[in-house]
Amino acid sequence: MKQKRIAKGTRVVLSLMLPVLVVLSATEASPQAWKSEWEKTLAGAKKEGKVVIAGPPGQTYRDALAAFQKTHPEIQVDYVGTQGRDFAPRIMQERRAGQYLWDVNIGGGATMFTTFIPAKVLDPLRPALIMPDLVQDKSWMSGFDDGWVDLGKKHIYGFVSYVQYAVYVNRDFVSESEFNKADDLWNPKWKGKIVFHDPRREGIGTHQGTVILLNFGEAALRRLFKDQEPVITEDYRQIAEWGARGRYPIALGINLPNLAAFQKEGVGKNLLPVEDPKFASAIAGFGNVALINQAAHPNAAKVYLNWLLSKEGQSIFARLTGQNSRRLDAETGDKEYLPKPGVTYLNGQKQEHQEVRLKVNQIAKEIFK
């Protein structure tokens, strides 16, 4: 009996040691293993010849995310600019018809975890990341795992982190003395002079509504929606233009690349954020990525993901969009929006805040008929 117990105990020790041995063999014992897998995947991607991306709307994002083709000219980028709220019904309808046309989705995370994860549209992302540096903590602000947006930490990865302020004010029309702190947003004098990205559906408007709900409470959000009578629109470019030209000098839901496009033309140089801590959050914005399952071009999808999260891909994204990558060795975007060391920012885009986001949608639907 003693021999059996010793033998059984030995087997337990060996089984406990086995995962350690596996980890060592994967990361240290065979440095050529990932290169072999990469070469095989790259060869397959070249045969497929194309990768199909659903990404954020706008030429700036298209330029940044299609730059992959310069590094891999044998793989064509088919890029479709769309918001998640529009892409979700499209891909679900296609799948009901037996069509599987997409490879990678980049954009806001909310539609991905409210629609795509429950509908089993996404594959786990980490197994597709072949190059070792992509998953090393030293490569990323706050470590690799801090980038996961979904609760399961498997499907949606935020590669961007920039400080976003809820409210922008055009100082050509509204002076600092008139509006310089968060509470000024509810001043009756701004009634009808505010534009807001539509908070009835997912998007930046919902995020900014979440910031206000969490920091000021439901009553304050309702007063903003009802008493201040903001004009709502789904068009990010329109919000930037209206704010930049002063048609509505106070704007909530500004998307930075859209604003930057006007400011490069000399328009809206003084459309600036109200830098009150209660308006601040650090988010990925449209900088979230997910791997669509049953991909049309599975090898090309993997090659694209490895490029996107590489130093090169992240540097290009930051340089062209102005949005700062979480990747520490990448170029920085607009330094003005870099998260400050030691400051804890709200990230209302993470799935843990989804119930609050839905509450914002509900309140907005009640008030904006």
Q: Are residues 363 and 238 in the same domain?
A: yes
CATH number of the structural domain spanning residue 74: 3.40.190.10
The verdict on residue 217 lying in a domain is yes
Neighbours of 242 (CB within 10 A): 20
148 in the same domain as 240: no
Q: Does any domain span residue 15?
A: no
In a domain, 98, yes or no: yes
Residue-wise pLDDT for 259-283, tens only, equals: 989 998 999 999 999 999 899 999 8
Domain shared by 92 and 171, yes or no: no
Whether 203 and 133 share a structural domain:
no
- 32-72 pLDDT, tens digit per residue, is 789 999 999 999 999 999 999 999 999 999 999 999 999 99
Q: Tell whether 51 and 144 lie within a shared domain.
A: yes
**Which stretch of DSSP H or E encloses residue 291?**
strand 288-292
Are 311 and 323 spatial neighbours (Cβ–Cβ below 8 Å)? no
Over range 327-351, report the average pLDDT: 87
Q: Are residues 63 and 95 in the same domain?
A: yes
Residues 239 and 269 both lie in one domain: yes
Helix and strand numbers (H, E) in the chain are 13, 13
Kindly state whether residue 5 falls inside one of the protein's structural domains.
no
Q: Which residue has the higher pLDDT, 6 or 356?
A: 356
User: Does residue 286 sit in helix, strand or coil?
Assistant: coil
Q: Clarify whether residues 180 and 62 are in a common domain.
A: no
Residue 69 lies in a domain: yes
Residue 17 lies in a domain: no
Strand pairing class (271-273; 76-81): unpaired
Q: How many domains does the chain have?
A: 2
- 266: which residues sit within 8 A by CB, 6+ positions away? none
Same domain, 225 and 173: yes
Condensed to tens digits (0 to 9), the pLDDT of residues 166-220 reads 999 999 999 999 999 999 999 999 999 999 999 998 888 999 999 999 999 999 9
User: Residue 24: helix, strand or coil by DSSP?
Assistant: helix
Q: Is residue 74's pLDDT more than 60?
A: yes
Are residues 152 and 296 located together in one domain of the fold? yes
| Residue range(s) defining the domain that contains residue 111 | 31-161+285-338
